[in-house]
Amino acid sequence: MADLVPAELQRVDRLRPPAELTDEEVEVWVAVTSSVEADWFNPGNAPLLAQYCRHVIAAKRIAELIERNSNDVGTFLELLKAQREQTSALKTLAASMRIAQQSTRTYRGNARTISQINVPWEKALQGRG
């Protein structure tokens, strides 16, 4: 029975947002980091996650401008182009950090566990063992 008790529990702190993020971007950071396991992100991911947060807020600003400028066709089309670019950047960043729904769901739509999410280097490490 004593074998079932872990020898030591480790506390894992969530990655803290960089100081240069705005309050709105920090809100996005906290929402994203709170939606995954505490050790999902590490300091090496911080620049990508910071950019993701910036793009979320930029996309929000563009959406607000689209609503205000829907009568001016030229401006409207330029804003739609900017919105497409933000969406593309968000999609790329989310996929690379494995926070996109495609990365966190099975083909049936069920949530994946960490052990089900394969990363390329795991196979290489298993082959060494």
Percent helix, percent strand, percent coil in the chain, to nearest 5: 65, 0, 35
pLDDT digits (tens, 9 = 90+) for 9-35: 777 789 999 999 999 999 999 999 999
- Model pLDDT, residue 13: 86
- Per the model's pLDDT, the better-predicted residue between 2 and 39 turns out to be 39
- Angle made by CA atoms 96, 64, 87, in degrees to the nearest 5: 20
d(CA 93, CA 86): 11
pTM: 0.73
d(CA 123, CA 119): 8
pLDDT digits (tens, 9 = 90+) for 48-84: 999 999 999 999 999 999 999 878 899 999 999 999 9
d(CA 30, CA 53): 10
- Model pLDDT, residue 7: 67
Instruction: Name beta bridge partners: 111.
Output: 105
- For the chain, give every domain's residue range: 16-128
